[in-house]
Chains A and B, each alone.
Chain A
Amino acid sequence: MSDNNQFVREVAEKKYEYGFTTDVQTEIIDKGLSEDVVRLISQKKGEPEWLLEFRLKAYRHWLTMEEPKWGHLDMPQIDYQDISYYADPTQKKEGREKKEIDPELMKTFDKLGIPLEERLALSGTAVDAVMDSVSVKTTFREKLQEKGIIFCSISEAVKEHPDLVRQYLGSVVPYRDNYFAALNSAVFSDGSFVYIPKGVRCPMELSTYFRINARGTGQFERTLIVCDDNAYVSYLEGCTAPMRDENQLHAAIVEIVVMENAEVKYSTVQNWYPGDHEGKGGVLNLVTKRGHLRGANSRLSWTQVETGSAITWKYPSCILSGDGSQAEFYSVAVTNNYQQADTGTKMIHIGKNTKSTIISKGISAGKSQNSYRGLVKVSAKADGARNYSSCDSLLLGSHCGAHTFPYMDIHNDTAIVEHEATTSKISEDQLLYCNQRGINTEEAVSLIVNGYAKDVLNKLPMEFAVEAQKLLGVSLEGSVG
């Protein structure tokens, strides 16, 4: 398939648009991990004693654990002593107050399309901008506060809303959960905190933009979203990193709590640096994301478009405790060159008449490996639970791999669980058909890939859908029906 290979090569050789580095004075702590480092991070962030205790417990537990090996991944050896665990680009310069943001940082986020001045912002979207270990700025905080909505960095939340943070932190993903969750719980730096009070419909999209900048550092995002009874929020997450020859670690935890009749929509466009066409460098994206549908009739949907990272190890999951709660997982994972993705979800049905939907679309090109891994669990008490899973794989070229690992664990006879899976290739005939209609191969592949991923892209908020389509190589002219 010569034309197709050429296209795949072209994609592979395409420059990563966000690979630049910002030259900003950054305070980076010495490499290495120990109790002292954990204490230092906590001290730098001016944390209360209980949080330091939480971190230390997590750290001690982490020491007893081993890296998980079950992923269909060829994971490079991570030297945890060769990483700096805290990098602060907002460090005060001589004669400047900490409150003032370095113009270089403003410029960086402008360049990324995330203006931090509210008057320039995308209408209807509030942003928390995080670089390395620190939140640079959160927009529209005051406006949201008028409705009682809390949207700030988790560091600020610890100071300003300690009771809320203490109540929910670690309540969905305990530090014992897994190796990377324990690591994150010990050394997490910044991320966002969202609290939507009872009965409030958040009037704007909330978003966090994560940027890795400093060399030799890891980023340990921690995000906590609590949506109280009858409340609603749509939250977006984006991320990019510079091009570097060495791997960088992003080990995150995102916890979401959804109360009675509340609804949370969480969307991610993950575009971490994927490494070069020989597989050198790239971000190791090792993430634990989980939502707890605590209240009756609560709803949560995860939508992810994963195009970046050298390795993605990520399973945004839902615990459906509330009776009648509904969870959805929509995913498009694209891997190219030597990228590896092992991603999927877990749907744990506990409440009665709970319903979950899984739509996963994997697209593999180059020499990449793309795996879907999902668990559907129905506990003994979950009468009337329903799940529908559909996992499709699309192969571009013949040197890539697509794998599906569905697990089912059903303990209730009334459960209805459906699973469908397909694997397809873009055929030479399809490309010829498009070419014969005047559409060149690159556009044809975009059209086909976009059509294939449509069910998931349709779930994204408008601005994000546009970005995601661009990421899939789609020109806007062809994408508007």
Chain B
Amino acid sequence: MLEIKNLHASINGKEILKGINLTVRDGEIHAVMGTNGAGKSTLSNVIVGHPAYEVTEGEIIFNGQDLLAMKTEERANAGIFMSFQQPIEIPGVSMTNFMRAAVNARRKYQGLEPMPAGEFLKLMREKRKIVELDSKLANRSVNEGFSGGEKKRNEIFQMAMLEPTLSILDETDSGLDVDALRIVAEGFNKLRTPETSAIVITHYQRLLDYLKPDIIHVLIDGKIIKTAGPELALEIEEKGFDWIKEEAGL
């Protein structure tokens, strides 16, 4: 599904990613863990195409396509979705209009006609249930006045609407209480299929308890210094990152 080879990226001339290699196969969930400032969010931003980051070397192949040659919206329409660490507020634009624009943009990309209004509203109702968002959401402006938990649930709701093949959860667990975390994680799990994959960026084990990742990567100082099975996350929870750094000779 996704193949990242020797990826170097910088922001404002400062190199953050220093040669990332990562392969995600269909149906896999990968967790990327690491200390603050290690480059975890940079990695997700580069995959989705944040214009502030410059890729200086390497490549990303997504289902056979050269991802770095595609615009942000093309990547999204090709099936990449990011749950933002800090979802953005768009005053005055209702969730309904926003989602309608997004759903129809994807349909246009796929060569389909816009979705009829009735069908669209029905879809909104169905998908809302996955993350227990109430019906008032549809008329509220995008993320405006949403609580931290609602914002994250709203991200997973959008994921449900857009049915991506690769989802990136960028610290989706940050700022969530136990109940909200459960709703978000269970919502995410309902959307899993053997064809969909995910990259989960997190500091903590508790989200991974729900998501059960297949592979854990440790990202330190712009490089993946260790890759192992799910037991690694538990070890990190217990012992932190220092021992991994030492092992890698950092």
Contacts and interface: CB of A to CB of B under 8 A. Distances in A.
Contacts of B142: 433
A428 B104 CA distance: 22
B51 A432 contact: yes
A450 B50 CA distance: 24
B51 A481 contact: no
Given A428-B52, A438-B162, A478 B106 contact: no
Interface string A412-443: 00000000000010011110111111111101
Given A429-B88, A430-B90, A481-B96, A437 B76 contact: yes
B91 A451 contact: yes
Contacts of A54: none
B97 A432 contact: no
Given A433-B84, A478-B97, A448 B102 contact: no
A205 to B, nearest CB: 26
A110 interface: no
Interface residues of A, number: 31
Given A2-B51, A436-B76, A452-B92, A477 B100 contact: yes
Contacts of A435: 49, 71-73, 76
Given A2-B51, A432-B72, A477-B114, A438 B102 contact: yes
A454 B73 contact: no
A254 B92 CA distance: 32
A438 B73 contact: yes
A306 to B, nearest CB: 19
B165 interface: no
A230 B71 CA distance: 58
B73 A439 contact: yes
Contacts of B71: 435, 440
Contacts of B42: none
B210 interface: no
A447 interface: yes
Contact of B105 (A427, A433, A438, A454): A438
Contacts of A439: 73, 101-102, 105
Interface string A110-140: 0000000000000000000000000000000
Interface in B176-220: none
A479 interface: yes
Contact of B77 (A3, A438, A451, A454): A438
Contact of A478 (B49, B81, B84, B104): B104
A480 interface: yes
B98 A447 contact: yes
Contacts of A454: 92
Contacts of B114: 477
A163 B223 CA distance: 87
B92 A438 contact: no
24 contacts: A2-B51, A424-B91, A434-B90, A435-B73, A436-B72, A436-B82, A437-B76, A437-B98, A437-B158, A438-B76, A438-B77, A438-B105, A438-B162, A439-B102, A439-B105, A440-B105, A441-B73, A447-B98, A447-B101, A448-B90, A448-B92, A450-B93, A451-B97, A452-B92
